[in-house]
Amino acid sequence: MCYRTQETFSSDFGLDGHLEAVVCEGEPHEVIVDVASERNADLIAVGTHGRKGLKKLFMGSVTSRVIATSPCDVMLVKKPCERCLGEYQSILLSFDGSELSKKALKRACELSKMDGSEITALYVIPHYEEMIEFFATSGIKESLLHDAERILQNAREIASGQEVTIKTEVAEGHAAEKIVETAGRLKSDLIIRGPHGWSGVNKAIMGSVIENVIVNASCPVLVVK
């Protein structure tokens, strides 16, 4: 059950009366997702706990459940947020060639057209020694680098089809660490990624890439559904 409040916040955000405040009863994640579905929302914005609190509360938290069940994109903003301006100059896209990451790329292109932001698509190669059970060779690494370039070329072609030019980078290591590290180096004010590893509320998500990115990033994270 939801009802409107008399409080107004529109003037605080320059929205000129276009912000409606409602209070609802029920399980928070269920209410948030239900209201978003009823109103055909195309974005849910969630303010998360600080880094320490997020690490403790992420499993089973409202945030994780909203991401898992949301019918639309989810924007996660931590408090305090070092770079939360609402307009984006540098977007970092985590791209792996999957259909979900292609959808995330198209969303990044839409934002770039609005704000003129620069997009960098990052492909992370896992430590290849961990991917195989036999002695690693230079040929294996060359093959992985070749695959990375092929995937990023596809990203450039998709962006070009959206009339957007993007930059691309390849990194080797643990995906979450490299995403956060690259975002810091580029001074990105938004990270975009698909909901990899979020197939259900009951799935163990601690240690997943997106969870670690949310915990450690200093800028907002947009999860494209």
One domain for residues 119 and 27: no
Predicted local confidence at residue 164, as pLDDT: 97
In this structure, the answer to whether residues 204 and 120 fall within a common structural domain is: yes
- Asked whether the beta carbons of 175 and 130 are under 8 A apart, the reply is no
30 and 129 belong to one structural domain: no
69 shares a domain with 10: no
| Same domain as 24, residue 127 | no
pLDDT digits (tens, 9 = 90+) for 144-184: 899 999 999 999 999 999 999 999 999 999 899 999 999 99
Predicted confidence at residue 95, as pLDDT, reads: 96
Whole-number pLDDT of residue 202: 35
- Stated as kind and residue range, the H or E segment containing 110 is helix 99-115
Query: Are both 71 and 23 inside the same structural domain?
Result: no
Q: Do residues 70 and 167 share a domain? A: yes
Residues 218, 167 share a domain: yes
Q: Tell me how crowded residue 113 is: count the other CB atoms within 10 A of its CB.
A: 12
Domains identified in the chain, total number:
2
Side-chain-side CA neighbours of residue 120 (13 Å):
21
156 in the same domain as 96: yes
- pLDDT of res. 152: 98
Q: Give yes or no: residues 27 and 134 share one domain.
A: no
pLDDT confidence of residue 20: 75
Do residues 152 and 91 both lie within one domain? yes
Task: For residue 79, give the CATH number of its domain.
Answer: 3.40.50.620
Residues of the chain falling short of pLDDT 70: 1, 3-18, 49-60, 79-86, 127-138, 196-207
Q: What is the per-residue pLDDT for 32?
A: 93
Domain housing 152: 48-223
Same domain, 35 and 133: no
Q: How many CB atoms lie within 10 A of CB 136?
A: 13
Query: Residue 108: what pLDDT?
Result: 97
Residue type, 10: S
Contact present, 97 and 158 (Cβ < 8 Å) = no
| Alpha-carbon separation of residue 217 from 79, 85, 117, 146, 213 (angstroms) | 12, 15, 19, 29, 6
Report the alpha-carbon distance of residue 132 to residue 211 in Å, rounded.
25
Residue 26 falls in which region: left (phi positive, over 0), alpha (psi -120 to 50) or beta: left
How high is the pLDDT of residue 193?
A: 93
